[in-house]
Every structure is written in structure tokens, then in C-alpha cells.
């Protein structure tokens, strides 16, 4: 009896070791791949922001703000969000006197379309071309804001005149030092998240538990227009974000279990609907209504995937002449 128990225990231990080691190997590979994109793009974006070009780009999109029921000053946090990320957008948004409704619309735009240069490059390496990634996210942002604006009173203070605060320029060495410190912290954070995720996935695979988890997620995945096989990858991006999710997606895609269409539909969904925990909470801390921070993105992601899938099917029918 003891021998049988010992044998079973060793089998479980072997599975744990195999799953953890294979997951760690994939995690390291994905981590290195991600840093090759994050580090240069992050530095480029920092230098772009420091040079003052962001304020110049602000003037280019200010005329379109009226179409989105926003004052022209909303262009600043949107441009900062597009080229940097959620944190920078929030920092610039807090410097300007927006109403709650205006801040809500800006937040929705940024939640969908932030850090576009970096994240579109990542998506381009893991299943969806960068151009498509940018176009899908920008289009989704615009459509979502236009729809949500019908339910809000953002236009009531459209004509507010705001002078954009000028941030004193810092020496280049100081800027690069601050960037290096921030990038180091982010790299450490990414390392632990990616490694833990991949080790957990490796262990789940070694025990054949992933099909069980995917089965639990299947009703939600069908609603989202996605195949069950991308269930764990979708969940990873939705909870941890696009960058972390992409590292996992790349490693899974290398195994060849997912075809190009599955990956494209997945990216359409998570491009709109990623980091659904941390990012909305940051905006909610400013007093913005949580309903608008979560629900519109989910609805638009569902619609976008089904429309994309329909367009792909129609294209294939045209090619076959049916």
C-alpha cells in the first residue's frame, strides 16, 4: 500500500516538476522577447514626450474633439495616453478642469487606445498586424465614445477655455535616469508576472486541467465570439493586460495549436478589452462611474469580434466564388 502511495506521490511530483520547468523555460523566452520590444519603444516614447512633440501633436487632433463631445483641451490627455499609457494620461487629465462626464469619455478612449506604439508592436509579433491593431483600437475608441456620449452630459462645458500647463524641461541625463529606474521596476514586475503565469500554465497542462478551466469559461467565450482554445490566453490579457498577455500568447502560438484566424479574433477582442482590473480601478479612483469603465468596452469587443468574423467569412466566400 505504501509503495503504491509513494508511486502516486512521485507521479504527482514529477508532473509538478515538469510543468514548472517547462513553464519557466517558456516564461523566460517570452520575457526576453517582450523586453526586446518594450525597452527601445519605451525609451523612444520618453524622448518624444520630453522633446515637446506631444504638445504639438495635441494641436493636430484638437479639432476632432468636438465630434466626440469633448473640449479641445481633451486632446492633451488623449495624445499622452495614445503614446505613453494610462498613468501618463491620468496625470495630464488631472491638471485640467474637466467635468465628470468629460473625464469619463476621455477615460473610455484611453482604456481602449493607450500606449499604441508599444502595444501594437507587441500584437504584431503575436498574431495581428500592427496597422490592424491600431485601426481596430482607434475605431473602437471613437465609436464607443460617440455612443456613450448620448447618455452623458459631456457637451455642457464644451467651450471651457483651458491653458495647458507647461512642464519645465529636464536635463537629458535626468530624463534617461528616471526612465531607466522606471523601466527597471517595470521589467522586474513583468518578469514575475510572466514567469508565474507560464509556470502556472505549465503545471495546468501537465495535469490536463486546462480543458476543465476552458469548459468553465466556454459560455463567456462563445458570447465574446472566441474559440474555447484561446480561453486561458484571453483570460490572461483581460486580467493582466495586453503586454503580459502577449508574452504568453507568443509562447503558446509557437506550439502551433492556434491558427491565424483564432489569434486575430483573440487580438481584436483583447485589443479593446484588456487589463479589465487594474486600469479601470485607476480611473474609478478619480470618482468616475464604474459602469462606463467596464460595460461599454465589453459590449464593443463582442460586436467587433463578431463583425470581424463575419467579414472574414464573407471574404472567403468571395474568393471561392460561392
Q: What is the mean pLDDT of residues 161-180?
A: 68
Positive or negative torsion for Cα 136, 139, 145, 148: negative
- Closest to 122 measured CA to CA, from 188, 204, 190: 190
Q: Is the pLDDT of residue 109 over 90?
A: yes
**Largest Cα–Cα distance of the chain, in whole Å?**
81
pLDDT tens, 140-161?
999 999 999 999 876 554 444 4
Distance CA 320, CA 126 (A): 28
pLDDT tens, 215-265?
888 898 999 999 888 888 888 888 878 877 777 777 777 676 778 888 889
Task: Write out the DSSP string of 18-75.
Answer: HHHHHHHHHHHHHHHHHHHHHHHHHHHHHHHHHHTHHHHHHHHHGGGGGGGT--GGGH
- Closest to 252 measured CA to CA, from 231, 270, 268: 231
Question: How many residues are listed for the chain in this entry?
Answer: 322
* Residue 298: exposure state from Cβ atoms within 10 A (0-12, 13-18, ≥19): middle
pLDDT of residue 154: 64
CB-based contact 5:93 (threshold 8 Å): no
Instruction: Name the CA dihedral angle for 6, 9, 11, 17, rounded to a multiple of 10 degrees.
Output: -130
pLDDT tens, 37-84?
778 877 876 776 677 666 666 666 767 787 888 888 888 889 888 887
Distance CA 157, CA 289 (A): 19
Amino acid at each position: 500500500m505504501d509503495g503504491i502511495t509513494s508511486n502516486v506521490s512521485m507521479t504527482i511530483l514529477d508532473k509538478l516538476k515538469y510543468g514548472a520547468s517547462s513553464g519557466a523555460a517558456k516564461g523566460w523566452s517570452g520575457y526576453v522577447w517582450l523586453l526586446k520590444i518594450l525597452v527601445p519603444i519605451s525609451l523612444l516614447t520618453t524622448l518624444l514626450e520630453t522633446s515637446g512633440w506631444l504638445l504639438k501633436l495635441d494641436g493636430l487632433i484638437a479639432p476632432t474633439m468636438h465630434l466626440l463631445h469633448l473640449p479641445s483641451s481633451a486632446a492633451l490627455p488623449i495624445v499622452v495616453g495614445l503614446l505613453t499609457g494610462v498613468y501618463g494620461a491620468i496625470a495630464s487629465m488631472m491638471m485640467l478642469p474637466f467635468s465628470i462626464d468629460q473625464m469619463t469619455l476621455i477615460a473610455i478612449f484611453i482604456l481602449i487606445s493607450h500606449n499604441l506604439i508599444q502595444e501594437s508592436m507587441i500584437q504584431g509579433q503575436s498574431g495581428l498586424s500592427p496597422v490592424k491593431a491600431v485601426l481596430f483600437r482607434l475605431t473602437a475608441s471613437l465609436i464607443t465614445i460617440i455612443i456613450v456620449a448620448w447618455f452623458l452630459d459631456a457637451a455642457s462645458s464644451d467651450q471651457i477655455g483651458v491653458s495647458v500647463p507647461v512642464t519645465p524641461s529636464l536635463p537629458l541625463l535626468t530624463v534617461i535616469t528616471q526612465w531607466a529606474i522606471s523601466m527597471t521596476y517595470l521589467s522586474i514586475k513583468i518578469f514575475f508576472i510572466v514567469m508565474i503565469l507560464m509556470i502556472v500554465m505549465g503545471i495546468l497542462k501537465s495535469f490536463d486541467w486546462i480543458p476543465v478551466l476552458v469548459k468553465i469559461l466556454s459560455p463567456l467565450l462563445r458570447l465574446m465570439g472566441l474559440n474555447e482554445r484561446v480561453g486561458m490566453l484571453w483570460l490572461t490579457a483581460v486580467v493582466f493586460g495586453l503586454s503580459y498577455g502577449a508574452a504568453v500568447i507568443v509562447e503558446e502560438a509557437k506550439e502551433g495549436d492556434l491558427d491565424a484566424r483564432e489569434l486575430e479574433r483573440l487580438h481584436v477582442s483583447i485589443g479593446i478589452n484588456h487589463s479589465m482590473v487594474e486600469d479601470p480601478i485607476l480611473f474609478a479612483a478619480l470618482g468616475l462611474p464604474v459602469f462606463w469603465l467596464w460595460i461599454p468596452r465589453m459590449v464593443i469587443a463582442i460586436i467587433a469580434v463578431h463583425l470581424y468574423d463575419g467579414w472574414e467569412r464573407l471574404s472567403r466566400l468571395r474568393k471561392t466564388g460561392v
